[in-house]
A = this chain, B = another copy of it.
Amino acid sequence: MKKSYHHGDLKQTLVGTLYELVNSEPLEHLTVRFLTDRLGVSRTAIYRHFPSKEALFSAVVQKAFDALEAALAEVAVEQDPLQRLHGLGGAYLDFALHYPRHYRLMMNDQWRVYREHGCSDCEDKRKGGAFEIVIDACRAAQAAGALREEDALTQATAFWAMVHGIASLTIDGHLPEEEMGALYESLFRMSCEGMCR
């Protein structure tokens, strides 16, 4: 293997390397120069493959969404429908806690234009595969008589908002990290049983 003039697969290498760097480096360090220096290519090499730094980052965001979907799919095999829903929320929170910079990137409104350009009719992200998994779990729980028979999309959205709320407030330092697990258990129970009496 020799260092050649043509890199071979620079596009995928750029996305993959940046994806890894997001783990270890704060966002403000991730300049075009930092990335290209690490790869040993010129500063302007990215513009052969992406129209802008923003477009490159949005490819990384897409990869992160795929990783989240894979993590959710892994725990979606659970048979008991309420347990499955519980496990999906847990896996979601684990992802956010282990990859906080990826998670922030995914949720950032900066990539709105890329999200909307990427698919045909997705004003909201709920069309994505990860969200389908949650809707399916709600439908299954309804069929099993564990969940009230309401609109499954609304139920899944409620669940997402709750879990995202916990994740987001925690990784941005508004809630103590070590209490996240216990908070999730409390909220899951509350939303199941109801807070009113």
Which positions in A face B, CB cutoff 8 Å? 82, 104, 107-109, 112, 115-116, 123-126, 145-148, 150, 154-155, 157-158, 160-166, 168-169, 171-176, 183, 186-187, 190-197
Contacts and interface: CB of A to CB of B under 8 A. Distances in A.
Binding site of A, secondary structure by majority: helix, strand, loop or mixed? helix
Contacts of A171: 109
A191 B168 CA distance: 19
Contacts of A104: 109
Contacts of A157: 175, 183
Given A147-B197, A194-B194, A195-B148, A164 B169 contact: yes
20 contacts: A107-B169, A109-B171, A112-B173, A123-B176, A124-B173, A125-B174, A125-B175, A126-B175, A148-B194, A148-B195, A154-B186, A157-B183, A160-B165, A160-B169, A161-B162, A164-B165, A165-B168, A190-B191, A191-B191, A193-B196
Nearest to A157: B183
A124 B195 contact: no
